[in-house]
Amino acid sequence: MSDASSVFVESLKNFLSPIANYLDDENVTEVMINGPHDIWVEVKGKIQKTNARFSDEDALRAAVNNIAQSVGRRINDEEPRLDARLPNGYRIHAVIPPCARNGTTVAIRKFSKVSITFKDYVNWGAITVDAAQFLDIAMKLGKNILVSGGTGSGKTTLLGVLCSRIPKGQRVIVIEDATELDVEYEHVVSFETKNADEQGQGEVSIRDLLKSALRLRPDRIIVGEVRSAEALELIQAMNTGHKGCLGTVHANTAPDALIRLETLAQGGDSKVSEKALRTQIVSALDLVVQISRYSDGSRRIHSIDEVRGFNPDGSYNVVSIYHMSRLVKGQDGQLHGQLEPTGELPQFMSEIEDNGIPFPRTKFQHRKVG
């Protein structure tokens, strides 16, 4: 951590002294403040209430105002929401009254400074060795992958793991609303959006940055989260020779992820017809990786699905290559089960074989349990 970042962390803990110990605790991944007297934390994927409290609403509001000023943002009656990345990498979002009925509401998400790999995922039971190798192969072959999941499911972390498997010698451009990805790669260009100033001028959106990225000779484009009309630019980039592009989207299933992407792309000012847009989506995407947070607090890959065009009824044809088995709660309170092959071969199986990659067809055979 740089000296400037260390100084900021100390200032942050002074502003938020009632929760300073949770900011220091490495087991705490998120702090949620629902007004001055109602504070919760997430520990190992589970949310629990704390005894921490601010003296009153004015003290909490003052803390949020100080944080906003320290990062060059504002939060007031005209701008009652704050969304910012702090110098130490934390992500903060705050909403003040009257929009926040419980009092000033804040969420501070902490990001691990430890590099996570597929080996860690395997050790956690979040993925099997074979499924991890399959995703590794997909990255090597330049498949376009969409990571889908709910809030807090681990999409950004998984995206970072996938980025670490990009073969050497490529130029990678990463675009985020607020920098969260820590991409360990030799040639990375990172872009971050910019909010408008007090006069409403100077905003730079993900869509703007995607347009710039396409003119900067990228081999791969990574979009931290697709949440608006930039979906169209990403789809078109995937369809114009930029292999191995990645992005994340909020959705509960792989088919829902494609529908969400379609809806976002339609929100732009493009004149692309619905039929043309849907055709572009199935042509652009190879795989959807669904990640979920389960009731025991664990985050696991729920499925790895291949996009294969359309069903006879016009819906997206999304076929699972790997899918989470039935999960059973053990005496330890943890859910037990694993990602299993469905018996479906990926459509790029011949490409795997032609490249001499030692991943035989038997790896995809469904193994009936019990």
Are 99 and 124 found together in one domain?
no
pLDDT 10s digits, 232-278 = 888 988 888 788 999 999 999 999 999 999 999 987 666 788 999 99
Helices (H), 71-109: none
Are 248 and 302 found together in one domain?
yes
Place of tokens 């910019």: 194
Are 18 and 43 found together in one domain?
yes
Domain range for 17: 3-109
- pTM comes to 0.82
pLDDT 10s digits, 79-123 = 899 988 787 778 899 999 999 999 999 999 887 666 788 999 999
Are 134 and 100 found together in one domain?
no
Q: Considering the domain boundaries, does residue 156 fall inside one?
A: yes
Q: Considering the domain boundaries, does residue 370 fall inside one?
A: no
9 pLDDT band (50/70/90 cuts)?
Answer: low
